[in-house]
Amino acid sequence: MYLELSHLKKSFGEKTVVEDLTLSLPQGELLCILGSSGCGKTTTLNMIGGFLAPDSGQILVDGEDITAIPPERRPVTTVFQSYGLFPHMTVLQNVVYGLKFQRIRRAEAREKGLRYLEMVGLADYAGAYIHEISGGQQQRVALARALIVEPKLCLLDEPFSNLDAALRVKMRQELKSLQRELGMTMVFVTHDQEEALILADRMAIMEQGRVLQYDAPLHIYHNPVSPFVADFLGLKDLEWRQDGALLKIIRRDDKEEHHAG
């Protein structure tokens, strides 16, 4: 597997935020970590990015143990909720910023920057400053800046949460299209069930620091392993056997009855 998280644990004082988290992701797939506020999903992302050190456990990317490597030396980039763009720089200068650490010549960096701006539909805004473009355009700049350094893994921490509903839908489509075009491996953190179901190749549902279920979205949707998972994904009229197996569910959205084994 391309990304491997093995028995990760993180506590703050007496509170355990992530407990024995283990999962793996193939190259070129998008993983959505889904859960309500405080479930441990952002802490998990920050451990992968190197911004938090796990108390125990191991993180491997493409066979390399990066658990103890500082964030600036990891083959990983992160798109934060706040975007983290430089207001004194132009759109193009923001996008190519990371290339200077790769010792790429200025002319080559500019050419590559314009190519990535073209990918996200912002080639005409290369000379604009951040305050001169919209929130959705700023999100695209942040994404282009993360991808241009060609990381082995791209992390996204609720990147669309500051956008209005219509723009969120548009950005989801654009992100998924770009991820497939580049064959990029991504980990996307969200609390939005619809967002996760649309974007994910694989989905991990977290609660109280633990992964309750990890699988393809459609499999989880039709085969929730617990009442919590079913309820979190918006299912109702659940019937369970005493051993916890799901007998019958009815979706809230279509009121269609489904039977399980």
pLDDT in tens, 191-229: 988 888 888 999 999 999 999 999 998 888 888 898 889
Q: What pLDDT is recorded for position 249?
A: 46
Average pLDDT, the chain: 87
Q: What pLDDT is recorded for position 237?
A: 53
249, 238 contact by CB (below 8 A): yes
Q: What pLDDT is recorded for position 198?
A: 85
Structural domain count, the chain = 2
Query: Tokens 């039977």, residue?
Result: 259
- Full residue range of the structural domain in which residue 135 is found: 31-52+66-223
98, 145 contact by CB (below 8 A): yes
In terms of domains, do 129 and 235 share one?
A: no
In terms of domains, do 192 and 101 share one?
A: yes
| In a domain? residue 208 | yes
198, 172 contact by CB (below 8 A): yes
109, 100 contact by CB (below 8 A): yes
| In a domain? residue 19 | no
- Residue spans of alpha helices (H) in 77-134: 91-96, 106-119
Least-confidence region, from 22-26, 60-64, 107-111, 169-173: 169-173
* Consecutive H or E run containing 214: strand 210-215
How many Cβ atoms are within 10 Å of 132's Cβ, its own excluded? Answer: 11
pTM above 0.75, yes or no: yes
